[in-house]
Amino acid sequence: MTEQELLNKIRESADDLELPNCVSPEQILKLLQEKSPQKARPVFRFPTAKAVSAAAVLLLCGILSAVAWSSAQISPDAGSPSDKAAPESALEYSAPGTTNTAPAPKSRGEGNSPGSGTENTEANASEEEPKRDAGTLYTVAKSYDQVYDILKSSYRMESKYRGSKEMETADADTGAESASAGFDTAVNYDMATAESAAQKSNHSSTNLQTEGVDESDTIKTDGRYIYTVTGSMLKITDTAGEKLTAAGAIDVNLEASDQILEFYVDGSKLFLLIQHYETSLTEETSYHTASSDSGIIPLTECAKVETVGTKASAILYTYDITDPANPGLVGTTKQDGYYYTSRKIGDIIYLFTQQGLETDDFNGFVPCVNEEKIPYDHIYVPDQGSDGFLISSVNVSDPETTIDQVMLVHNSVNVYVATDAIYLYHTDYQANDDITQIAKFSIEDGRINAVNATSVKGSIYDTFAINAYQNTLRVLTTYNDRNGNTDNHLYLLDQDLKLTGSLDGIARGEEIYAARYFGNTAYFITYKNIDPLFAVDLTDPANPVLLGELEITGFSDYLHFWGTDRLLGIGYETDPDTGERKGLKLVMFDISNPTDLKILDTAHLKDSYYSPSLYDYKCVLAEPEKNLIGFAAEHNPPNGSYYAVYHVFSFENDRFQNKLEETLPDYEYISYDSVRGLYIEDSFYLACPTEITSYQMKQGFEKSGKINLE
């Protein structure tokens, strides 16, 4: 069949249809023949056969579109207000009321999905409050094309410095690892919190960043059962009758590359977080052509090229554990990207993932939640960015449907979650100064929306240095000038992130190592060769006042309030002249009078030089109500072999008392940051992925039982 005969056949097939003008054969051929007047394109020769084939495909698509358009009986008045074709990347999400409306994604809940045009209709606005800009730092995208343009621009900038596009893999691979280290928040600790602590159930819980904001972990207890992530399974151990017996297990049937990360336990439900990978093989056709004297370029060779790709996603499985021996799966939520962290506030779980956004053509790729693309008007864009930071909210009573989801295009981001807001912050490395940018998002009833954004001088070094309390955000930063000099700053911001007060130029030449906020008082450690503890009164947000300062050798990397008038520090002893580390150290500060800070006692572990508790606060057991301080430490004596110990201390009569030193197994594949100390009533449990050991605290931590989990 000749080219003309092929075109005639297509026209004959279309004769019985009333086509819209924009998809008529004449219009499509006209588009093929037209040259774009906007850009000068490279001169190349296009094979005639390919041109005809392309025209045939386009005409066929036009015919099929006309059939759908005709059978739907949609009047032109119900269509788009403009005759211009929508951008190809935006066709999947059209505003309600247009000819291209899409059904509501399951992950969006009720109502239709937002449009993919540049305007939101009244129908969309009535079903859900539109997303607001976070100042000028993050603005709501007006279309998918705007997102792609930013990615293209960012890629060109990155390529200028890196010389390749391999950055996506490197950045993405660090996502899951950085989640365990965390970019975290300060405990929202006040007098009411301290007074209510004694009323908690008589069992330990995960060491939290913010009171009232639960966190996932690898080992937890609900007061009877101990739940432990063990390889590709989650084991449930019964502690009834002061015995350790196997009660059940959850086997997720993971793929070979999948990994159980962490979980939550709430009553009769358990929420399990999985890092999932999907590897696919895509076959593409490679055409090889040669020029001809006739001007026609015939197809001379065709090759098949296979490309292997891996897609990462985080999955939240919800199980009913009413009967631990027979846990049942009741819901699943899936979100693209590498798991970063999560939080649980009441009945709502917030899931955070990171996703590299660079693709070969920067077009058509949008991360999904529950297999539905994130609508463009739920995407926040900065001036530059190459990664996506996804946040979704899930009500535990409906674990297969998300309440809301947003995505931020970014280069880097850290997270602090308060009970009523999410704060995203990062150091702006493109600025000419040391600046931290902060964006606030409200999370009322699981709906995520921007409030505002701001910048402060310096960088946030400690995970507990940012804290929200009574509509005020408090931020401690360390500032580095261009000459390498440092000083420290305290900023107080109102609920709209407007600056209300600050304290500047603190401890010049040093940097902040640890911080905590107790009601309207801030405590923080700076360090160079000695360890000053500062106390600042924040009662008047417009006028913070430095109350006291105490110097001690060494420094603390982690601070934890011990009741209402004491502050526990865990860190290192150092040489005051050289700064050389001389082993781990515990210190108990008396903060009953912030203007007169004192040291009550110290405990020095001379041959220990590392503890995961200094870098992951979930590794710390600190329960003043039970008088327990527990953490793992690695020891390396000068004339002995390396070993690890779990230490348990109490604080009695203003002195540290050593209660337990249990040598830990020499793990080959498990690190000591997976070890947890727990208690239920008067029993203490040392739990790790391979075994659980029980001790009776009233009998001087006498060993009473053990169960092997492997």
pLDDT digits (tens, 9 = 90+) for 273-321: 999 998 877 665 554 545 555 554 454 555 666 667 788 999 999 999 9
First to last CA, the chain: 70
Q: How many domains does the chain have?
A: 2
Contact 219, 228 (CB under 8 A): yes
Note whether residue 427 is domain-resident.
no
Note whether residue 83 is domain-resident.
yes
- The strand pair at 372-373 and 449-457 is best described as unpaired
Domain boundary among 133, 164, 187: 133
What is the rounded CA–CA span in Å between residue 622 and residue 447? Answer: 34
For the segment 463-499, what is each residue's pLDDT rounded down to a tens digit?
999 999 999 999 999 999 988 899 999 999 999 999 9
Note whether residue 535 is domain-resident.
yes
What's the pTM value of the predicted model, to 2 decimals? Answer: 0.76
Domain that holds residue 474: 461-674
DSSP designation for 577? T
| Regions of the chain with pLDDT less than 50 | 1-11, 14-126, 160-199, 287, 289, 296-297, 299, 360-362
Residue partners of 682: CB distance under 8 A and separation at least 6: 696, 697, 698
Torsion sign, CA atoms 249, 254, 256, 260: negative
Domain boundary among 133, 157, 191: 133
Where residue 549 sits, what CATH number does that domain have?
A: 2.130.10.10
Note whether residue 211 is domain-resident.
no
What is the rounded CA–CA span in Å between residue 23 and residue 6? Answer: 18
- Give the per-residue pLDDT at 666: 84
Note whether residue 272 is domain-resident.
no
Q: Which of 63, 115, 70, 61 is nearest to 93 (CA)?
A: 115
Note whether residue 92 is domain-resident.
yes
- Give the per-residue pLDDT at 429: 76
Question: What H or E segment, with its residue span, contains residue 169?
Answer: helix 167-181
Q: What does residue 611 show for φ and ψ, rounded to 5 degrees? A: -145, 130
- Give the per-residue pLDDT at 87: 32
Cα 156 to its chain centre, rounded Å, is 26
Exposed e or buried b for every residue in 136-153, given b needs 16+ CB within 10 A? Answer: ebbbbbbbbbbbbebbee
Structure-block tokens of residue 94: 């059209």
Note whether residue 324 is domain-resident.
no
Note whether residue 529 is domain-resident.
yes
